[in-house]
Amino acid sequence: MKRKGRGLFLIILGLFLFSGSALAGKISDLETEVIALKNRINELEEREERFYKAVEELKAENQDLRKQLADLRAESGSLLQQLGQIQALVRELNDRIAKLEAPLASGLAKPTMQEGDTTSGDAQAPSNKPGGNSPPSAQSLKEIYELGLNYFKEGKYDSSRAQFEAFIKASADDPYAGNARFWIGECYYQEKDYKRAILEYDRVQKEYPNSTKVPPALYKMGICFEHLGKKTEAGAVYKDLISRFPKSEEANKAKVQLDKLQNVPEKK
């Protein structure tokens, strides 16, 4: 009986130890799982925090964009107002120029026949007073052109342009009309208004293809494109100049500029 009791006790003790070991293993596994879950929770909390932070940043950015949009709208309104003022000023200046050009365009008047005057030669003789239909004299055209040059030399570019425009309007077929258009471009160039200068230089080659100012106009077009950071356009103009006027002084200058362009990055 004692042996049987001792054996039963050992069996029970073995089972207890085995179950305790298994339980300890399960507890260890649970602890590991709990740690993993905690790490996962911490990771999710960090991600959630980053997410909310990103949302707040987006909200702030959106608010900033709204403010910028409001500022742009206000600036746009101000620019439109300024544009209206500029347009009104341009109209006023055009009216003034038209009034100044009227005597030039009308030319020299013919005197009227007096009652009893039968001398036809007197009736056809030009008067020194403006108001007739004859074109301006060569002397007056020369004075207009020279006045435009003088204004240019003095840095009075608005006045210079007005004189050259008047010259072209009074005698568009004059051999110096192309020169006048070139000097209008030069006025804009001196004012660093390179886009308008390009347009005027382009008109020289298109409207006065036989003018001696075509090579200089093309060269200055290339220079203007360089000032604007348009490397490709500048190179194309220089190549056109060299191809069309290979023996011109401007063609040699264009070759130099082309070489320089190879090492100059184009502006965005």
Burial (0-12, 13-18, 19+ Cβ within 10 Å), 234: buried
The answer to whether residue 159 is domain-embedded is no
Whether the Cβ atoms of residue 207 and residue 241 lie closer than 8 Å to each other: no
Q: What are 178-213's pLDDT values in tens digits? A: 999 999 999 999 999 999 999 999 999 999 999 999
The answer to whether residue 245 is domain-embedded is yes
What is the total count of domains within the chain?
2
The answer to whether residue 232 is domain-embedded is yes
Q: State pTM to two decimals.
A: 0.50
CA distances from 160 to 96, 146, 167 (A): 15, 10, 11
The answer to whether residue 91 is domain-embedded is yes
Whether the Cβ atoms of residue 205 and residue 218 lie closer than 8 Å to each other: yes
The answer to whether residue 50 is domain-embedded is yes
Question: What contacts 103, CB < 8 A, 6 or more positions away?
Answer: 130, 131
Whether the Cβ atoms of residue 263 and residue 254 lie closer than 8 Å to each other: no
In whole angstroms, give the CA distance from residue 221 to residue 227: 10
The answer to whether residue 164 is domain-embedded is no
Whether the Cβ atoms of residue 109 and residue 121 lie closer than 8 Å to each other: no
The answer to whether residue 114 is domain-embedded is no
CATH number at residue 188: 1.25.40.10
Residue 37, domain extent? 17-107+129-134
Q: What are 3-27's pLDDT values in tens digits? A: 666 666 667 766 666 666 666 677 7
The answer to whether residue 65 is domain-embedded is yes
